[in-house]
């Protein structure tokens, strides 16, 4: 439940918003449609008076460390499914593979991930403190076809990692985010993600509403 739930969000203007654009892998390897839509959105926000600062965020480039063996969630999934692991062959094969992945983590690995996450949160909270929100594409690609994702296990897991790439960073941060549509009506859906650190839900909702108004021209 959000603190102060029931009260209206402040109506923030786009003019004067301080937005952090994280120079990192979160902005790399984008589908052309995503890159074009995201750049148009940044331009509209800038024209509306938002202050967009591109800042190097090296912590966003260490996803391999954060999610090895399925990460913290992978270890917790194994704990939850422990009574049923012996029957893992009865799971959907791809779900079973993801559940089993977490079993490769030791207790020491899990504790190390908790410390890594705490360091990550402190680093991003310090970087984000002068800004109203962090912004990035919600997903680096447009939606793949079912055939593309089902071509093989390798294809499925590659698409899964790609689609979860950016929002996974905010999940690991214990943060919050709102995705705002930024594509043209004739194009495939593209999201503009407005993100914040832990406990900033109401502010991020207010910033996202201001972004949405600016992008829609209201």
pLDDT surpasses 70 at 191: yes
Task: Give CA–CA dist 107/170, Å, rounded.
Answer: 24
Q: What is the pLDDT of residue 2?
A: 47
Residue 165 buriedness (CB in 10 A; 0-12 / 13-18 / 19+): buried
Please calculate the CA angle 178-179-185 and round it to the nearest 5 degrees.
150
The whole-number average pLDDT for the span 121-133 is: 97
Task: Give CA–CA dist 190/182, Å, rounded.
Answer: 6
Contact 141, 163 (CB under 8 A): yes
Beta-strand runs (E) in 49-188: 51-56, 133-137, 176-181
The whole-number average pLDDT for the span 36-65 is: 96
Residue 153 buriedness (CB in 10 A; 0-12 / 13-18 / 19+): exposed
Sequence-distant (≥ 6) Cβ neighbours of residue 48 within 8 angstroms? 14, 15, 214
Ordered by where they begin, the domains of the chain are 18-216 (3.90.1300.10)
Reported as a single tens digit per residue, the pLDDT across 70-124 is 888 888 888 888 887 777 677 787 877 777 778 888 889 999 999 999 999 999 9
- Across 52-61, 100-109, 142-151, the highest mean pLDDT is recorded for 52-61
Secondary structure letter of residue 26 according to DSSP:
G
Reported as a single tens digit per residue, the pLDDT across 156-187 is 889 988 999 999 999 999 999 999 999 988 88
Annotate 88-119 with b (16+ C-beta within 10 A) or e (fewer).
Answer: eeebeeeebebbbbbbebeeebbeebeebbee
Q: What is the pLDDT of residue 200?
A: 95
Reported as a single tens digit per residue, the pLDDT across 2-41 is 444 556 888 899 999 999 999 999 999 999 999 999 999 9
| Tokens at 59, concatenated | 């912590």
Q: What is the pLDDT of residue 103?
A: 81
Displacement of CA 9 from its chain's centroid (Å): 23
Task: List, in sequence order, the alpha helices (H) in 55-200.
Answer: 63-66, 71-81, 93-101, 107-128, 146-149, 153-172
Q: What is the pLDDT of residue 37?
A: 96
């Amino acid at each position: 439940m959000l603190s102060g739930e029931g009260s209206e969000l402040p109506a923030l203007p786009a003019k004067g918003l301080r937005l952090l654009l994280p120079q990192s892998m979160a902005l790399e390897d984008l589908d052309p449609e995503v890159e074009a839509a995201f750049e148009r959105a940044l331009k509209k926000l800038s024209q509306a008076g938002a202050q967009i600062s591109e800042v190097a965020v090296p912590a966003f480039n260490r996803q391999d460390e954060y999610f090895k063996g399925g990460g913290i969630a992978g270890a917790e999934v194994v704990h939850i499914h422990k009574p049923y692991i012996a029957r893992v062959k009865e799971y959907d094969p791809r779900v079973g593979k993801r559940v089993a992945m977490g079993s490769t983590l030791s207790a020491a690995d899990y504790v190390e991930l908790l410390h890594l996450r705490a360091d990550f949160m402190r680093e991003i909270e310090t970087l984000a403190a002068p800004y109203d929100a962090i912004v990035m594409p919600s997903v680096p690609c447009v939606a793949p076809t079912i055939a593309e994702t089902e071509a093989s296990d390798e294809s499925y897991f590659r698409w899964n990692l790609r689609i979860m790439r950016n929002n996974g960073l905010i999940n690991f941060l214990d943060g919050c985010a709102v995705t705002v549509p930024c594509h043209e009506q004739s194009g495939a859906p593209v999201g503009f993600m407005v993100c914040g650190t832990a406990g900033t839900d109401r502010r991020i909702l207010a910033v996202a509403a201001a972004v949405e108004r600016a992008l829609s021209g209201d």
